[in-house]
Structure 1
Amino acid sequence: MADSLTHHAEAVWQAVVPSLPGFTVEVLPSIDSTSSELMRRARSGMLEPVLLTAEAQTAGRGRLGKGWHSRPGQSLTFSIALPLAPSSWSGLSLAVGVSLAHSLHPDVRLKWPNDLWLQQRKLGGILVETASTGEATQGLRMVVIGVGINIARPETAAVTALAPAGATVAAMAPAGLAEVLVGVTPGEALERVVPTLVQDVLAFASQGFPTFAQRFARLDALQGLSVRLSDGTQGTACGVTEEGALQVLTAGGMQSVTSAEVSVRPC
């Protein structure tokens, strides 16, 4: 293959390992889920930082039980596992989104808490999970950051088929990175985002979300929009707090929304 994922993964390793000793990169043709695999390893005691990427995922996972559509050559799916001990984990998925958006394209925006948007359509998703390392060091956990980015624009029918059972809202027509970066490959996108993402996650660990807050505000796709929460509450999105909670002005006043089991849709 003229533009292999492996070739770009090697370049990623060379860029990251000087500042992250012990970092490794693995490329697989297919896997159930890169995040599921790294979480399995983390729970079994893996402590080394690693990037795992695959040409295809057969059981990719998103937030709130949603699936992720992944086809060889048509999408980029990867997960990074890092041992971290930040003073607060709040806002990590937002910081990851800020990093990815800036690396991908100036037109990419962020839909709280974990979606990449391009021209009001979903371009990608982020899933952040943690596992205890069993280490005595207080607060040290393995964080697994899973990322899925559409390179080509998926067919709407394929995305609809991945919606959770009982979903009543039709899936939004997705976007593809190739719409704004013509000819881009999954390997090129991987090399484009991972080195900066690692540095930004390490910066988050030492400085927290406040250092990313202004950058997030400039990319906030929901700012000023009417939104509806999964519990039926409606209001106007008013940015996020320094802990990364969404601020929604409702009829009953300002409500801070955390990411736990809550979805937000523009009305």
Structure 2
Amino acid sequence: MSASLAGGAEAIWQAVVPDLPGFTVEVLEEIDSTNTELMRRARTAPLDPVLLVAERQTAGRGRLGRGWHSRPGQSLTFSLGLSLAPRSWSGLSLAVGLVLAEQLHPDVRIKWPNDLWLMGRKLGGILVETAGQADDREGPRSVVIGAGINVARPAESALAGAPASPMGGVPPAGLAEVEVGVTPAELLPRLVPPLVREVLRFASEGFAPFAARYAARDALKDRELRLSDGSTGSACGVAEDGALLVRVNGQLRRVDSAEVSVRPC
């Protein structure tokens, strides 16, 4: 167990358990993927509320199966698992990104649908997965919310052999560029209690109450985009359900598929 990360576990538990009875915190030195582990559990039984933190992930996953590599002391990787029954799941990853961005730094922005940006470079990513009965759309489902955040600025040498960057080869960002000396152990208790509170708020109120705050952190607003089908347009923010709005050939188009990616031109 990592003593540094585990040191804040008690404080996190005390801050969260009043809102989330039965909540536990698990801190590991190494695991394949915190999301993968909690999804394993969710497929066998409904998840009890849990925070799973790893100092190192050997097979971390991002959106669309992309790899996410973490190194001890250089990044923060964790997954929050719980059961939820929101009115709608639309916009959950945006709400999660918003909460994390607000707690990290005033300059952190959100790239729809699940990336954190700092100074135009990727700082972190969010992966939201659910498990439950396919025909049970009204009852609670287990949800796993994973986050990976670069704390130290990744060294150029560490990028060799890494997956291709969605920013066209631009190296990723690290929070230490704007908050010198920050550590994963300091970040964890700063992020988790607000994240839990806002996820519970999302479950009861949906994405609409987050929309105005999201607009203030929207990395794509008014930028020219190229969608995965090859079309281009101008980003016009997000709808109240979290769908991306893009003006293409004079028409406002909704982009809400999990399989659609957008890239600045």
Deviating more after overlay: 155-164 vs 238-247? 155-164
- Note the alpha carbon deviations across 1:87-144, whole angstroms, 9 max, x for none: 1000000000111011111111111110111111111100000001799893210110
Deviating more after overlay: 65-74 vs 247-256? 247-256
Name the counterpart of 2:122: 122
Runs of 4+ aligned residues of structure 1 deviating over 2 Å after TM superposition are 133-139, 155-164, 167-172
Name the counterpart of 2:196: 198
Q: TM (normalized to structure 2)?
A: 0.94
Q: How far apart, in 2, do the equivalents of 1:204 and 1:264 lie? A: 25
- The answer as to whether partners of 1:43 and 1:133 remain within 8 angstroms in 2 is no
Alpha-carbon distance change, 168 to 176 in structure 1, aligned in 2, over 3 angstroms = closer
- Note the alpha carbon deviations across 1:74-98, whole angstroms, 9 max, x for none: 0000000010000100000000011
Alpha-carbon distance change, 46 to 168 in structure 1, aligned in 2, over 3 angstroms = closer
Q: Does 1:42 align with 2:42?
A: yes
Q: Give 1:235 shift.
A: 0.6
Corresponding pairs, count: 265
- The answer as to whether partners of 1:113 and 1:259 remain within 8 angstroms in 2 is no
Q: How far apart, in 2, do the equivalents of 1:59 and 1:70 lie? A: 9
Q: Give 1:19 shift.
A: 1.7
- The answer as to whether partners of 1:77 and 1:149 remain within 8 angstroms in 2 is yes
Name the counterpart of 2:232: 234
Q: Partner letter of residue 34 of structure 2?
A: T
- The answer as to whether partners of 1:116 and 1:124 remain within 8 angstroms in 2 is yes
- The answer as to whether partners of 2:235 and 2:247 remain within 8 angstroms in 1 is yes
In the alignment, structure 1 segments of 5+ residues that lack a partner are none
- The answer as to whether partners of 2:154 and 2:174 remain within 8 angstroms in 1 is yes
Q: Give 1:55 shift.
A: 0.5
Q: How far apart, in 1, do the equivalents of 2:39 and 2:139 lie? A: 17
Q: How far apart, in 2, do the equivalents of 1:251 and 1:135 lie? A: 38
Deviating more after overlay: 255-264 vs 240-249? 255-264
Name the counterpart of 2:149: 149
Name the counterpart of 1:54: 54
- The answer as to whether partners of 1:45 and 1:134 remain within 8 angstroms in 2 is no
Q: Partner letter of residue 220 of structure 1?
A: D
- The answer as to whether partners of 1:3 and 1:187 remain within 8 angstroms in 2 is no
Q: Give 1:3 shift.
A: 7.0
Name the counterpart of 2:27: 27
In the alignment, structure 2 segments of 5+ residues that lack a partner are none
How much is the aligned-residue C-alpha RMSD, in angstroms? 2.2
Q: How far apart, in 2, do the equivalents of 1:84 and 1:69 lie? A: 28
Q: TM (normalized to structure 1)?
A: 0.93
